[in-house]
Amino acid sequence: MICRYCQQIHAIDRVHPLRKATRDTEGNYPRCDWHWRYVCNTCGRPRHFNGMAWCERARKFICISCAKSHRLVHQAFWKWKTHYAIRCEACDEYHPTLDFLESQGRHPWQLHKDMLKKRTGMSQEPALPKESSIFVPKKKAEISEKTTAEAWNALAEKWVERYSEHGDLNREHIIDPTMLHIMGPVKNLSVLDAGCGGGYFSRLLTKKGARVVGVDISQRLIEIAKQKENEERLGIKYYVCSLCNLAMLQDEMFDIVVSNLVLMDVTDLDEAMIELHRVLKREGKLVFSIMHPCFSSPPIHGWLREPRDSQREEDWLHWKVDRYFERGMETWWLYDWPAVFSFHRPLSDYMKALFARGFIITSFEEPVPSKKAVREHHRELSDSERVPWFLVLGATKQ
């Protein structure tokens, strides 16, 4: 069996050898050692060779996720039009990824015979790992709020480490600009941040002049939010509680209720909507974002890639969606982090929950990043121009 990559390259460059496939031989994209996954010397995780660079000065591999930054280089080689250049922490220079290096004869295995002999840097995985999520149909999906809270407590530290003062890239460049636009001016208004997590959005709103209360089901996330409050006194009050039970908050207490990527994680959407409606003033605004139910949360979803671990956008063929009407719970995790839970509900469930409380929908947005943001964060945000991952709704209490 010949490596699929070698076959494709050989069809363009007859000098390129046809190497034997040694990895993922039972999959649809068998690969040789050269075209397999390499282990990053920073995070220790394997990555497709087109998402891994080599620093000759530091003699280390750097993956696209650990890099200080990266950029997309438009330079055709073999069958591809582009490659990534990854900024190295050791020397502060940008290094091309291994696919381009090989085409130029500068792959570390081409430069160092001892590395080639030992297969230095190559992951020892025989095949690609399994997908990192499990979907359970609603009739079998029994989970308590206590379990949900414990899951987020376990993940809290790693979760907030991903955030800047503006949250992650999706929040900063896609979701939050739309949320803030729908909210309008918040100066001197009372705002409930429902599912505040570590409190980054609460802090952003407070700095815009709002009086903010943040609530979250995770005690550890609230502890982190309070620690931030101690470091920078903004006057935000935080409480540990479920959105399905906001008993410590009075009726018609807030001008605005915001909930940022939370409602798809609550166990009982209707109960949560009742409580959010209760604490909102008449004519007050409810503004919330969720993972888009039509695309990002059905039981079967994801990019069809060839191969499926490729970092190259050209290899991301299309986004698959199936069994959309099947309600249920998804258990998901990042890398080896603790698992957390989310619920897929058709879009109609969210609409019905709003209508049942008497809300009037005033805004319905499928936000996309700006062209500038995509240029600056191409790998993380470019697919958001192809598929709407998020949905932002605004509603008024009548």
Q: Find out whether 287 and 380 touch, Cβ atoms under 8 Å.
A: no
Co-location of 368 and 224 in the same domain: yes
User: How much is the pLDDT for 305?
Assistant: 85
Q: What is the pLDDT, as a whole number, of residue 277?
A: 98
Average pLDDT over residues 292-317: 88
* CATH for 175: 3.40.50.150
Alpha-helix runs per DSSP H in 61-143? 98-103, 108-111, 113-118
Q: Are residues 294 and 146 part of one domain?
A: yes
Nearest to 393 by CA among 246, 197, 204, 259: 259
Confidence band (pLDDT; 50, 70, 90) for 129?
confident
pLDDT at residue 315, as a whole number = 86
Three-class SS of residue 371? helix
Q: Look at residues 70, 85, 118 and tell me which one is the last residue of a structural domain.
A: 118
Average pLDDT of span 301-309: 87
| d(C-alpha 36, C-alpha 159), whole Å | 29
- Angle CA(157)–CA(162)–CA(167) in degrees, nearest 5? 110
How far is Cα 273 from Cα 349, in angstroms, rounded to an integer?
11
pLDDT of residue 382: 85
When pLDDT is cut at 50, 70 and 90, the band that residue 139 belongs to is low
What pLDDT is stored for residue 132 in this prediction? 62
Which residues are 289's β-sheet partners? Answer: 260, 392
* Element spanning 300, H or E: strand 300-305
> Six-digit token pair at 138?
């609603």
Structural domain contains residue 252:
yes
Question: Domain check: are 263 and 375 in the same one?
Answer: yes
Same domain, 92 and 148: no
Question: What value does the mean pLDDT take over residues 179-206?
Answer: 98
Q: Minimal CA–CA distance to 100: which of 91, 90, 110, 92?
A: 110
Looking at the structure of the chain, the number of domains it has is 2
Using the structure block, give the residue that is written with the tokens 């969720």: 290
- Is the same domain home to 103 and 174? no
| 326 in a structural domain | yes
Does residue 123 lie in a domain region?
no
Domain presence at residue 89: yes
pLDDT of residue 191 exceeding 70, the answer is: yes
Residue 131 banded pLDDT, cuts 50, 70, 90: low
Domain end position, chosen among 71, 94, 118: 118
Report the pLDDT averaged over residues 300-315.
87
Token representation of residue 274: 């009742």
Kindly give, in sequence order, each residue whose CB lies less than 8 Å from that of residue 77, ignoring residues fewer than 6 positions away: 83, 99, 100, 103, 104
Do 138 and 91 lie in a common domain?
A: no
Is 150 among the domain residues? yes
Range(s) of the domain holding residue 84: 4-118
222 with 354, same domain?
yes
User: What's the pLDDT score for residue 375?
Assistant: 86
Quick one: 222 and 199 in the same domain? yes
The whole-chain average pLDDT of the chain stands at 93
Segment 34-39 mean pLDDT = 97
Q: What is the largest CA-CA distance in the chain?
A: 75
Q: In percent, how much of the chain has pLDDT > 70?
A: 97
CA 390, 393, 396 angle in degrees (round to 5)? 170
Q: What is the DSSP annotation of 19-47?
A: PBP-BSTTSSS-B-STTSEEE-TTT--EE
Assess whether 109 and 153 both reside in one domain.
no
In a domain, 124, yes or no: no
pLDDT in tens, 96-122: 999 999 999 999 999 999 999 999 999
Is the peptide bond preceding residue 298 cis, with omega within 30 degrees of 0? Answer: no
Q: What is the pTM of this model?
A: 0.82
Answer yes or no: do 333 and 198 share one domain: yes
- The one-letter amino acid at 384: S
283 in a domain, yes or no?
yes
Q: Do 238 and 171 sit in the same domain of this protein? A: yes
Residues 222 and 306 in one domain: yes
Instruction: Give CA–CA dist 218/241, Å, rounded.
Output: 8
pLDDT, tens digit, 9 for 90 and up, residues 250-297: 999 999 999 999 999 999 999 999 999 999 999 999 999 999 999 988
Confidence of residue 334 (pLDDT cuts 50, 70, 90): low
